[in-house]
């Protein structure tokens, strides 16, 4: 009886090994079939795509953006009135020199005049700063426009 059990267990082990080998061949066949299917798909991947509608849309958006920027520039330019402030500063200095050269009695109060001159100088300084800020903003907008143009001309850009 022991010999029968031994023989049956040997046969079962042999069938198990043969089954595992068969399963390996089945998986190998599936893998080969999948590789062949992917090789056939390679031609689909290489097909060209028509990008003309995208280029047209990019051109339209670029023109729209440039128009918006120009409209914004016009609004800013309308608000800014360029002034030559150097003449005004010279005039203030001349007034100071004239006031200093006059023999004004000590009882005359020049404090309001001096305060008004300081206030004018502060306003001139603020205007000069505001003009410089707007000039830098305009330079930044020019740089951004150039970036957009460069992106629009790059077919690989998203």
pLDDT at 10: 86
Is residue 126's pLDDT more than 60? yes
What does the pLDDT look like over 77-114, one tens digit per residue? 666 666 667 777 778 888 877 777 776 666 667 788 88
> Are 113 and 99 in contact, with CB atoms under 8 Å apart?
yes
| The pLDDT value given to residue 42 | 55
Tokens at 110, concatenated: 């020049």
Question: Residue 157: pLDDT above 70?
Answer: no
The pLDDT of residue 108: 66
Handedness of CA 127, 133, 136, 142 (dihedral sign): negative
Entry pTM: 0.32
Specify the pLDDT at position 83: 67
Q: Where are the alpha helices (DSSP H) in 46-110?
A: 52-79, 86-101
Q: What is the pLDDT of residue 59?
A: 82
Average pLDDT over residues 62-79: 75
Domain boundaries defined on the chain: 1-47, 50-158
DSSP 108: S
Question: Which among 96, 86, 93, 92 is positioned nearest to 128, based on CA atoms?
Answer: 86
Contacts of 61 (CB under 8 A, 6+ apart): none
């Amino acid at each position: 009886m022991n010999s029968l059990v031994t023989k049956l267990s040997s046969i079962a082990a042999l069938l198990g090994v043969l089954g595992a080998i068969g399963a390996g061949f089945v998986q190998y066949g599936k893998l080969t079939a999948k590789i062949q299917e992917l090789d056939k798909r390679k031609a689909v991947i290489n097909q060209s795509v028509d990008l003309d509608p995208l280029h047209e849309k990019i051109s339209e958006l670029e023109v729209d953006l440039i128009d918006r920027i120009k409209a914004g520039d016009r609004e800013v330019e309308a608000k800014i009135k360029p002034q030559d402030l150097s003449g005004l500063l010279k005039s203030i200095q001349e007034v100071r020199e004239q006031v200093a050269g006059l023999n004004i009695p000590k009882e005359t109060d020049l404090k309001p005049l001096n305060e008004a001159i300081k206030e004018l100088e502060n306003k001139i300084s603020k205007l000069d700063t505001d003009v410089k800020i707007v000039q830098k903003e305009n330079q930044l907008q020019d740089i951004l426009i150039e970036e957009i143009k460069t992106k629009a001309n790059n077919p690989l850009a998203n």
